Amino acid sequence: MNPGLTATATEEGICAFDSSAALDRPDAWDCTGAEGQIYDPCFENPFILPDEPGQVACFDSPFSTDVVVLTLTEPLVREKEAPDTGTSLAQAAGVAIDPWDLPWAVELANGDQCTLLGGTLTVQAGQTVHYGCTNGGSILGEVNHVRPLWTVNYLAEGDVASRLVDVVAAWS
């Protein structure tokens, strides 16, 4: 593990799915701990042999150096070994999501740090709230990355109107 990281807990678990937080990372997994806790994303050690269980490091956000280390009770299921399940839920719904449409986390020019939400999402002002932010704000809709300087539709906690805020860093 990177010396800059701190393991806050070690437990057993399995990683059965690709990460839904870090969409374009083949080394990122959606994992479940022994008590049913969901960890996403968890990153595998590139130096472990593919058929050995090994360990993964699970992060809450890229803004923290704290990780939960999962000791896997089963080897990771590689894409080439996984059964073909047909179309994904997004494909079935007719939705195409590019990984950079929904990066795992973004840091904004106003200093707020926002991470992708999981589970059931809410809708505000006709837009899906994809991100929760450390200062209590939220991001409505997707990251606008059409121009070199990306922007988001940011709703600060307690405000009734959102505003465009520049993205200074993004993690996928």
Tell me whether residue 121 is in a domain: yes
Per the domain annotation, does 83 fall within a domain? Answer: no
Domains: count for the chain: 2
Q: Residue 103: which of 90, 84, 93, 117 has the closest Cα? A: 117
Query: What local confidence, expressed as pLDDT, does residue 97 receive?
Result: 54
100-133 pLDDT per residue, tens: 568 889 999 999 999 988 777 888 888 899 899 9
Same domain, 105 and 64: no
**Does 25 or 164 have the greater pLDDT score?**
164
| Token representation of residue 84 | 């073909």
55-98 confidence digits (pLDDT tens)? 999 988 888 889 999 999 988 876 534 444 544 444 444 555 55
Residues 104 and 147 in one domain: yes
| Alpha carbon distances (Å) from 22 to 35, 49, 163 | 23, 22, 26
Q: Would you state the pLDDT for residue 60?
A: 84
Residue 129: give the domain boundaries.
93-171
Do residues 58 and 23 both lie within one domain? yes
54 and 108, same domain (yes or no) = no
Model-level pTM greater than 0.75?
Answer: no
Tokens 């590019």 -> residue: 98
Q: Are residues 112 and 146 in the same domain?
A: yes
Q: Judge whether 53 lies within some domain.
A: yes
Beta strand pairing status for 66-72 and 6-18?
parallel
> What's the CA gap between 6 and 22, in Å, rounded?
21
With respect to residue 86, please indicate whether it lies within any of the assigned structural domains: no
- Per the domain annotation, does 62 fall within a domain? yes
Residue 25 placed within a domain = yes
**Contact predicate 40/21, CB 8 Å:** yes
Mark whether 107 and 41 lie in a shared domain. no
